[in-house]
Amino acid sequence: MRKTIVAGNWKMNKTPKEALELIETLKPLVAERDDVEVVFCPPFIDLMLAVEATKGTNIKIGAQNMYYEESGAYTGEVAPNMVKEAGCEYVILGHSERRAYFGETDEMINKKVLKAFEHDLKPIICVGETLEQREQGITEDLVRLQIKIALKDVPAEKAVLAVIAYEPVWAIGTGKTATSVQAEEVCAAIRKVLCEIYGEETAEKIRIQYGGSVNAGNAAELFAMPNIDGGLVGGASLKADFAKIVNY
């Protein structure tokens, strides 16, 4: 039985003070749901205080990115051991905004995934197609390639700890949600790829989230689909609405 996981990607929002305010607002609102894993992914600058502020609660903290080198002359980057030592359990890797604005490739994402596991961090690996790619009919081919490269050299015992976030680029921040049928179709295809790589037993254990304009009104229908094990939430994770998604 896969445990539903709802993660909030705060993106480049919330100063340390604002982060604390949001955490204090959400903490009691998500406290009851012990059958759902709740993860907040604030900006790097907020991570340590977010870890501190959520100690003893059911909320886990994740970073939104990290670099794949251990240390050195990489100005502006954050190393895996820094993310780990800050107290993070998760790290989002390969978000479409990182791919589109910061030139991240599937190969870079694979290096980051391997590093995350080396440092005992669980990666939330984002995949998904643009509107143009969907219209070209290559969604499943593309997602398949993204998954196969991201998980290259990842053994099954690590892969079960990963979360795959299917996020159609055209649905992110646009208010256009994929229908539950569209989302399920791709998530089922993702599970099939995982099955090809690792076999059915492992594939059945890996959680797949849907992301793209998830809100309090559509979460229940999306999360009820057989291959959707929760959501990666952007805009709606910055408000009390996030609690309604967790309590879908």
Give the footprint of ligand PEP on this chain (CB under 6 A): 9, 11, 167, 172-173, 211-214, 232-236
The residue number whose beta carbon is nearest to ligand PEP equals 234
Least distance between ligand PEP and beta carbon 93 (Å): 12
CA distances from residue 2 to 37, 153, 197 in whole angstroms, order as listed: 10, 24, 19
Least distance between ligand PEP and beta carbon 131 (Å): 14
Q: Check 37, 97, 129, 167 and give the catalytic one.
A: 167
Least distance between ligand PEP and beta carbon 125 (Å): 12
Nearest residue (CB) to ligand PEP, 38 versus 79: 38
The continuous run of DSSP H or E covering 230 comes out as strand 230-233
Least distance between ligand PEP and beta carbon 202 (Å): 25
Q: In the annotation, is 95 catalytic?
A: yes
Nearest residue (CB) to ligand PEP, 79 versus 93: 93
Which long-range contacts link 147-152 to residues 24+ away (Cβ below 8 Å)? 147/190, 147/193, 147/194, 147/197, 148/193, 148/197, 149/106, 149/107, 149/109, 149/110, 150/93, 150/94, 150/106, 150/109, 150/110, 150/113, 150/125, 151/110, 151/113, 151/125, 151/197, 152/110
Question: Which residue in 58, 57, 114 sits closest to 91, CA to CA?
Answer: 114
Q: Check 37, 95, 97, 129 and give the catalytic one.
A: 95
Nearest residue (CB) to ligand PEP, 198 versus 241: 241
Q: In the annotation, is 167 catalytic?
A: yes
- By annotation, the residues acting in catalysis are 95, 167
